[in-house]
Copies of this chain bind each other. A is one copy, B any other.
Amino acid sequence: MSTLHLGLEGIAVAESKISSVNGEKGELIYRGYWAEELVRDHCLEEIVYLLWYGDLPNPEQSKTFKAVLAEKRALPDYIKKIIDTLPKTMPPMSVLRTAISALQVPGESWPPTIEQAMEIFAKAPTIVAYYYNFIHSKPQHEPDKNLGHTANYLYMLQDEKPTAVKVKALDTYLMLSLDHDINASTFTARVVTSTRSDIVSAITAAIGALIGPLHGGAPSKVDDMLDAIGSKENAEKWIREQLEKGERLMGFGHRVYKTYDPRAAALRHLTQEIADYDLLLQLSLDVEKIAVPLLEEYKPGRKLYPNVEFWAAAIMRTVKLPRELYTPTFCISRIAGWSGQIIEQAENNRLIRPSCIYIGKRPTTPSHHQ
């Protein structure tokens, strides 16, 4: 007889060497390193290398890895044509899901490889930028091989080479979003892989899971809140009104973290460093300062801190990403984490096949097999 575990809480479905989250202590480990330390001295490609290969690259490996990724960025014409063909009302994440599903990757369908992962990871930002420029009738830019992964993404979207501060800000966010042990989308990717399906199927499936607001969240709602608050002077009054009405404050609290989310802490640190770069960043810092004690006043003991979405919104509005691209931008980072976990699942595979408890009607006639 099976036992019922509706949300699978407390059930481990894999042993993993890739990342580890400790929500009580506020810890996030990537392959033996504190995530928040890695982001200070490394760029996105190097952390992706770490997640996939298990070690940080030396300078030579880093250079090669970046160059190979840069070579793979351009989209085949048929992918562009598919994006042109999809209904213009289709949400960006559904377009990304469909375009990734349409990709062909080199090699056999099993087992998944790092080369295949590179193909998808390299092209995902190009898909998002191509889609956005197409929908808004903006000029298209072919990827620039001389730019890093993050800088090139901003360049394709914004028609000019981004400043170093902008790149560092978005790069840091992307590095902190790469992997987060098992979550609904990563688990989806593992279940699909467990059937010996291909990496494109697994990542397409994971994108579908990330579309759900219970998982992918709604970072753009933090933006709406910051817009509604408008200024430091207005913050306390606005927040008090929300809490008096019993409303949730967007961007505070997390299902897993019961203390300050280390990703949020690292992004907050960065925000402080570059706050003079953009007034909007200062507003986020001010709202935090005012909101945390008010939350403790209205919801004592709940320990509600700004979560990663709160600071993600601060960063993404500062680098001038449009709100409709917040979740796709998160996704182009998380594709790397999924890929690592897909490859790891394949290395020690077992078909993931739980059961259910039947609570429906029984037939009134006897079975023919008794």
Contact = CB atoms under 8 A, between A and B. Distances in A.
A209 B195 contact: yes
A31 B184 contact: no
A204 B356 CA distance: 22
A97 B201 contact: yes
Interface in A216-260: 216, 255, 259-260
Contacts of A357: 12, 14-16
A232 to B, nearest CB: 28
A358 B260 CA distance: 21
Contacts of A314: none
B197 A209 contact: yes
Contacts of A209: 191-192, 195, 197, 201, 205
B204 A208 contact: yes
Given A34-B363, A204-B101, A213 B184 contact: no
Given A15-B359, A355-B182, A191 B194 contact: no
The quantity of this chain's copies bound in the complex is: 2
A350 B25 contact: no
A140 interface: no
Contact of A213 (B87, B94, B195, B265): B195
Contact of A182 (B26, B31, B259, B354): B354
B12 A5 contact: yes
Contacts of A300: none
Given A12-B355, A357-B12, A27 B213 contact: no
Contacts of A183: 353
A308 to B, nearest CB: 15
Which among A10, A104, A109, A368 has the greatest number of chain B C-beta atoms within 10 A? A368
A interface, how many residues as a size bin? 35 or more
A365 B29 contact: no
B2 A97 contact: no
A136 interface: no
Interface string A180-217: 01111101100111111110111011111111111110
A85 interface: yes
Given A187-B191, A195-B213, A356 B32 contact: no
A196 B196 CA distance: 26
Contact of A11 (B5, B187, B196): B5
A96 to B, nearest CB: 10
Given A187-B352, A259-B369, 12 more contacts: A7-B351, A8-B11, A8-B354, A12-B354, A16-B357, A26-B369, A27-B367, A37-B365, A78-B87, A101-B204, A197-B209, A201-B211
11 contacts: A3-B12, A6-B350, A11-B354, A32-B364, A33-B363, A34-B365, A182-B353, A193-B212, A195-B209, A196-B213, A197-B211
